[in-house]
Chain A
Amino acid sequence: MATSVLQPSQLLPEDALHSFQVEAGDPFVFQVAKDQIVRIVDLEGNQAVDTLFYNAQDYADRYSAQDTIREQCNVYLTTGTRLISANGNVLLTITADTCGRHDTLGGACSTESNMVRYDLSKGHMHACRQSFMKGILEWGRGLEKRDIASNINFFMNVPITPDGGLTFENGVSDAGKYVELRAEMDVLMVISNCPQLNNPCNGYNPTPVQILIWDTNVQ
């Protein structure tokens, strides 16, 4: 598999059913119906969009980074990648991608991991797992901390080297780049638009993203 598969979409924003803007530092929770298309747009460039997915019928059957990586024998996500759940189901497929590479090993920042990674004084800075927690508690329906499992970091660049190194590099995304996914079943999508200020994942400047939803059967 190539490192990246650049694939623009034919879908027009004016045909979308929904359009949402998500500010940096905010959660966004939305249930996507089977066959609907989700586009995430990096409006200003280099913005990490931390995202969890769940089988809407069974939240225990959620996106699994290890299953997704292993089943595709590749650590990066791009056009054609199937997002696999813990029970081996395909939750969504990436159908278009103008960025070319997305991470699923870097996880989501937390106030606690900020203390470890940067400084004990950083524990009061905003973090993705604060947003995930707020998002799932407001959504309710029994979701709690143990449901915050592995996530995808759309537009984030975390290269793995052949000798087993891992680094956070400057993003490969740019203003207006997007990734599009087709829901293969009804899925719950939980986004944290990353507030991180301590590493280059957001270019040290967290910015808003746009979420567009299309219904394929009305095209």
Chain B
Amino acid sequence: MESSMLWTGTVPGGATWSHVLKRGTALRMTDVEGSANVAAYFLNFDIPAERFNLPDTLKAQHTARLTKGHVLYSDMGRILCSITEDTVGWHDPLCGFSNNTQVEQKYGKASYQQVRNEWHQNARDGFLVELGKYGMGARDLHATVNFFSKVTVDRAGDLRYSANNSLPGSYVELRAEMNVLVLLNTCQHPLAPGSDYAPRPVELSISRVSPPRTNDPCRMHCSENTRGFMLTELFFL
């Protein structure tokens, strides 16, 4: 895919970041140190009532994990982003994000007053503050994806967190299929073992990319995605 780099930046561990990712650009997230976790939520910036819908994403593609070739569906049958590159192979769509109670129980309390920017942050508060900047709140926060993390489900339905899913330098790229308000949070995965508060940073870059062609791998992944792209393109007519 032709691309030209427009911007690069770093998000430290435990932080929240948002950006309106324009149609025709792609966001690459790189796990600098390995074992990062990026909780992510997406809305149609032009009509924010339309937002990421996890069940529609999983059902359409018959999957309970996300990787290259998959797309992220809105609740309106349209595609917010396509996963165009992925060196990890498994991103967790099942487990949601951390909250204040969990972080305090697991890692102990560390307030801003005590430790300044080393304070123990949680993803829910991060998302709510960031959504607030766009005039939205708790009612607008629905299910999210955990990039770089893997949780498997056994035959009985039990969840198992897989350590070391993402190696240093791993990356995943999201191509925006509409103007997408992207919210990211780099707190640890809520099922990550251990009691050390050690959220990892991610590097971000935004590139201009060519629009999906008729033989685009995400479009051709399944007939559902072909129809999803048709409905997304209709939105821009």
A54 to B63, CA, bound (A): 28
A75 lies within 8 A of chain B by Cβ:
yes
**Do A164 and B76 touch (CB < 8 A)?**
no
Chain A interface size, as a band, is 35 or more
**Do A115 and B143 touch (CB < 8 A)?**
no
**Do B59 and A107 touch (CB < 8 A)?**
yes
The A-B contact count (CB < 8 A) is 133
Q: Which residue of B is nearest A75, CB measured?
A: B157
Contacts of A165 in B (CB 8 A): 62-64
A60 lies within 8 A of chain B by Cβ:
yes
Closest chain B CB from A58 CB (angstroms): 9
A160 to B144, CA, bound (A): 18
**Do A116 and B227 touch (CB < 8 A)?**
yes
A108 to B53, CA, bound (A): 10
Given contact pairs A146-B139, A162-B154, A164-B152, A116 touches B96 in the complex (Cβ within 8 A): no
A62 to B230, CA, bound (A): 33
**Do A116 and B56 touch (CB < 8 A)?**
yes
**Do B144 and A86 touch (CB < 8 A)?**
no
Partner of A120, one of B62, B141, B156, B230: B230
Contacts of B230 in A (CB 8 A): 120
A21 lies within 8 A of chain B by Cβ:
no
Q: Which residue of A is nearest B53, CB measured?
A: A107
B133 lies within 8 A of chain A by Cβ:
no
B54 lies within 8 A of chain A by Cβ:
yes
Closest chain B CB from A57 CB (angstroms): 14
Contacts of A141 in B (CB 8 A): none
A48 to B146, CA, bound (A): 28
**Do B158 and A1 touch (CB < 8 A)?**
yes
Closest chain A CB from B40 CB (angstroms): 13
Partner of B138, one of A2, A60, A108, A119: A60
